[in-house]
Structure 1
């Protein structure tokens, strides 16, 4: 039986890695958390899509039962709790583990805060419309901002659960954009201008997360850029290095 490689992640890196690895003589398992993540995933005879949320204990049990040769954690850089669970499960099961790390991007024109709560605290002391590009996960945190419904326009993935969450929290329908990236600088800038954004809020999501395009577009639209930083102590190879490892280990010829 061909060896099993288990990739965790609904990120673009996880999908690209699974797509590329379809050419290798291995069995692939790609774990995603949502219907939307499953819809975006590649398809192949040697690829199994797992759409489920697993606790560390459940992961450990699956690892012990299925015995993958390798686990690759390609989850989002801000999904720290998920990464901790995957790492703990692999350690408990004795499974080789690789954390695929998305390289950081920096800009001198941004204001940086360390958390979503700190972003809300900062914005509460400012004026003007806000364009939020941090996704649906932290919408409840931003809903604590005074006048959030009238100040915030937000962009989320076109997933029903994300839209339902935004509406349930009281965000205005006319200020919700449901779109899947990638977004160009000009498209970002057009959205920022349309909503007359004085502030653009983004995660430090790296090149694959469209950070450069958002930073350049904010400057082009005359908006201030507020960046929520991520943990800076994460260690691991980037996408190209992980793919090279798979090719060297499993490639033929």
Structure 2
């Protein structure tokens, strides 16, 4: 068989979908890696774009790079998906591959400065989930967790000390994780972002939420909406800061990301390849 050398786009985010669409328009070959089958439908179905579904690790990645003839890495994973980002950075260094991190902008807090000055206790920023769990922030509160299913197990010890509610993706793995962490079905909602202001408000009011926990995921993660509603409804908002990663090269400019792909795809052609056993 033959394979066209391609960009490895680490996907699973709205940004990666936007990148894939522009890459397709520019006829640039790309292999997009995602972790769930349901994410495949987020990307355009065109000849030069392939979607690979699965979990990559240090052992499986060399075969992945060889089979897809990866010439460069464009990392558009979630800001909190540090494991795959660090793996990609290490791989780029080991195999001498160009690497670029494309990341959503953080929310400009100055826009909310006046409201925060009037209500200094309404917004709390914490460096990690561990700092939240080990503190006393959740005690006696009606807490809405919008942090994804992978963190829910951390909150299990708080089930009897607060009223916990969780929003997760409408997927079997997400729902099973919520149930295993002690959430009853009436305290779980499965829905895929983006979440509108009106729906977000309705959920907070329906469950009489007094505290919301969210990741500092920027505008695509709905952070501005949560900040606005926290002020409007008098609800406390705890934001977990993005974990630090030493990205060797980073941009939030779409044009720069596409230029990176065009440069690294220049002059590549179709070559024969044998699939791994």
Shift, 1:241, TM fit: 4.0
2:225 to 213, 217, 222: 213
Tell me what 2:186 maps to: 174
- What are the Cα deviations for residues 164-193 of structure 1, in whole angstroms up to 9, with x where unaligned? 111122201011111111122222111111
The answer to whether structure 1 residue 114 and structure 2 residue 116 are counterparts is no
Following the alignment from structure 1 to structure 2, what is the Cα–Cα distance between the partners of residues 158 and 175? 14
Q: Is the 8 A contact 1:111 1:227 kept in 2?
A: yes
Following the alignment from structure 2 to structure 1, what is the Cα–Cα distance between the partners of residues 171 and 235? 27
- What are the Cα deviations for residues 178-232 of structure 1, in whole angstroms up to 9, with x where unaligned? 1111122222111111111110100000111111111112222221001111135
- Tell me the TM-score normalised to structure 2 length: 0.82
Q: Is the 8 A contact 1:67 1:95 kept in 2?
A: no
- What are the Cα deviations for residues 130-161 of structure 1, in whole angstroms up to 9, with x where unaligned? 0110010100001122426x611111111111
Following the alignment from structure 1 to structure 2, what is the Cα–Cα distance between the partners of residues 245 and 168? 45
Following the alignment from structure 2 to structure 1, what is the Cα–Cα distance between the partners of residues 262 and 179? 48
Shift, 1:43, TM fit: 2.0
Following the alignment from structure 1 to structure 2, what is the Cα–Cα distance between the partners of residues 4 and 94? 15
Q: Which structure is higher in RCO with an 8 Å CA cutoff and minimum separation 6? A: 2
The answer to whether structure 1 residue 137 and structure 2 residue 150 are counterparts is yes
Q: Mind listing any 5+ residue stretches in structure 1 that lack a counterpart?
A: none
Residue aligned with 1:69, SS: strand
Q: Mind listing any 5+ residue stretches in structure 2 that lack a counterpart?
A: 117-122, 267-277
Tell me what 2:271 maps to: none
Shift, 1:116, TM fit: 1.1
Shift, 1:92, TM fit: 1.2
Following the alignment from structure 1 to structure 2, what is the Cα–Cα distance between the partners of residues 122 and 219? 23
Computed over aligned residues only, the root mean square deviation of the Cα atoms, in angstroms, reads 2.2
Deviant stretches of 4+, over 6 Å: none
Tell me what 1:76 maps to: 78
Task: Please identify the structure whose Cα radius of gyration is greater.
Answer: 2
Specify whether residues 22 and 128 from structure 1 end up closer, same or farther in structure 2 by C-alpha distance, changes over 3 A only.
Answer: same
Residue aligned with 2:60, SS: helix
2:259 to 242, 245, 249: 245
Matches within 5 A, 1:1-253: 2-105=4-107, 106=109, 107-108=112-113, 109=116, 110-123=123-136, 126-147=139-160, 151-231=163-243, 234-235=246-247, 236-246=250-260, 249=263
Specify whether residues 180 and 216 from structure 1 end up closer, same or farther in structure 2 by C-alpha distance, changes over 3 A only.
Answer: same
